Amino acid sequence: MRRRRHLGRAGAILLGLLVLAGCTRTSIEGLQVRSGPGTGHAVVGTIPESGTPVRVDCWRRGEPVRGDTVWYRLLGPVEGWVTNYYVHTTRELASTPSC
């Protein structure tokens, strides 16, 4: 038997925003968030769990990571830059503004 979780008003609003904006989540544990779009930039934080929802502000091209040159600037849960290679999104890149 599965337990149901009660989201509460704030959780329901957040879930609604993720559905409207396109769901964006990390794909690995310990994702390093950097001060700029490349691995040479300082690490400003870490997102510890795979599947963590992230808020994307904008994107730009940067240092390739496994052939992927797109980097997202995050507004949360940690502010900074992550490579698209480690982010799953349900929205098209064109629907996210460039930085």
pLDDT at 23 over 90: no
Please report the pLDDT score of residue 25 as a whole number.
Answer: 86
The pLDDT tens digits for 43-82 are 999 999 999 999 999 999 999 999 999 999 999 999 999 9
Higher pLDDT, 92 or 27: 27
CA proximity to 31, closest of 14, 51, 15: 51
CA proximity to 59, closest of 31, 23, 95: 95
Instruction: Specify whether the CB–CB gap between 29 and 48 falls below 8 A.
Output: yes
pTM for this one? 0.73
The pLDDT tens digits for 7-22 are 444 443 333 333 334 5
CA atoms within 13 A on the CB side of 93: 14
How much is the average pLDDT of 24-53? 94
Q: How many residues does the chain have?
A: 99
Instruction: Specify whether the CB–CB gap between 58 and 70 falls below 8 A.
Output: no
Please report the pLDDT score of residue 13 as a whole number.
Answer: 37
